[in-house]
Amino acid sequence: MGATFVFATADITQPKEYWQNYLGEMDDGQMQSFIDYSDEMFDWEDALDPFSAQDVAERVSEAIEVAYDDFRRDVGYWQEGDTLYALSGGLSWGDEPTDAMRDLMIFNYLQVWAKGA
């Protein structure tokens, strides 16, 4: 068995402030809905100690920052039409190939959840 190529993307067409404001304006019910939606993927209680909705919000905020950080070696950018994406990935033997990959996955989950909220 060999390695598998994996990657994550996040749409960064909107400015970073748009997503930071969106996150900051979520009420307790919305934050709990996002936690429920994304918990199977990220297992928040094990990933964050102590665990609270505020801790999840801070972790998502950090993920947003990573997506817009032009000085990271593990994040690239790709534009298709009018949409700009941050992407990160590489070869994996079951682990995440870059530090930024989980951040982009978290940010992407927020974006997908927001479309259905």
- Per-residue model confidence as pLDDT tens digits over 39-74: 999 999 888 877 889 999 999 999 999 999 989 999
Please say whether the beta carbons of 53 and 35 come within 8 A: yes
**Total structural domains within the chain:** 1
The SS3 call for residue 44 is helix
Q: What range defines the domain where residue 37 resides?
A: 4-116
Tokens coding 46? 């094990």
Partners of 10 in the beta sheet? Answer: 86
Does residue 77 have a pLDDT over 90?
A: yes
Helix ranges, 10-91 (H): 16-24, 28-42, 44-47, 53-67
Q: How far apart are the first and last CA of the chain?
A: 40
What pLDDT band is residue 27 in, cutting at 50, 70 and 90? very high
